[in-house]
Amino acid sequence: MDIKQRAIDNLKGQVGSESSEPPVRPKASVLIPLFVKNGELYVLLTLRSEQLRTNAGEVCFPGGKSDPQDTDEIHTALREAEEEIGIPPDQVEVVCRLLDPIVSKGGLLVTAVVGFIDGSFLPRPNPAEVSEVFAVPLNLFVQKKDHSMFGAPGMFLHSFQFLDSDSAPEKNTLA
């Protein structure tokens, strides 16, 4: 079994619970775009534009607030990913919604949607929302070597350092 199929099988076992009560918070969704490169899983991340009112300059997954015309969390994640990085929804192989939604620091109820994209995808970042699109090996997030965490109980910030020979040194820290 190849690495992509193993990841799909593992992720499908992580589907969150269905809640019968509607959330009382505004909803948002993000896409966790995965792809295989040289036999290793990678994830695509974005650097938010410095011009944005909220979370400017932060590293994040493509995504955003739910619109009234969105049919569900998956639709929101795919719509937002297309708006932010130019990936058509039909080029994302949606695998699952990941675990239960989390509450963002801005008070949004955020659902993560995991999907595979083709490794040859060339992002077209929307400069009003995204300054940069880049990929890192997914394995980076499970290693202790380049990970640090700080904050207070219940409010931790995780920081990861990744040195990519294709990037300038000032673009190598993910926080």
Read off the CATH number of the domain in which 31 is found.
Answer: 3.90.79.10
Asked whether residue 149 is assigned to any structural domain, the reply reads no
Domain assignment of residue 166, yes or no: no
pTM, full prediction: 0.76
Note down the domain range covering 107. Answer: 3-143
Q: Is residue 38 part of a domain?
A: yes
In a domain, 130, yes or no: yes
What three-state secondary structure class fits 131? Answer: strand
- pLDDT for res 108: 86
Helical ranges in 51-105 per DSSP H: 73-85
User: What is the pLDDT, as a whole number, of residue 21?
Assistant: 55
Q: What is the pLDDT of residue 63?
A: 95
Query: What pLDDT is attached to residue 137?
Result: 93
- The pLDDT value given to residue 37: 94
Q: How many domains does the chain have?
A: 1
Query: Nearest-5° angle of CA 64, CA 52, CA 89?
Result: 30
55 inside domain? yes
Beta bridge partner(s), residue 151: 156
AA letter at 131: S
Indicate whether 150 belongs to any domain. Answer: no
What pLDDT does residue 101 have? 85
- What is the C-alpha separation between 116 and 136, in angstroms, rounded? 14
Q: Which of 19, 115, 99 is nearest to 62 (CA)?
A: 115
Can you give the pLDDT at residue 173?
34
The pLDDT value given to residue 41: 95
173 belongs to a structural domain = no
Structure tokens at 165: 């020979």
The answer to whether residues 43 and 33 touch, using CB atoms and an 8 Å cutoff, is yes
Q: Which residue ranges of the chain lie beneath pLDDT 50?
A: 22-23, 167-175
Give per-residue pLDDT as tens, 72-104. Answer: 999 999 999 999 999 999 999 999 998 788 888
Does some domain include residue 168?
A: no
Integer CA distances (angstroms), 169 to 56, 104, 148, 166, in order: 20, 29, 19, 9
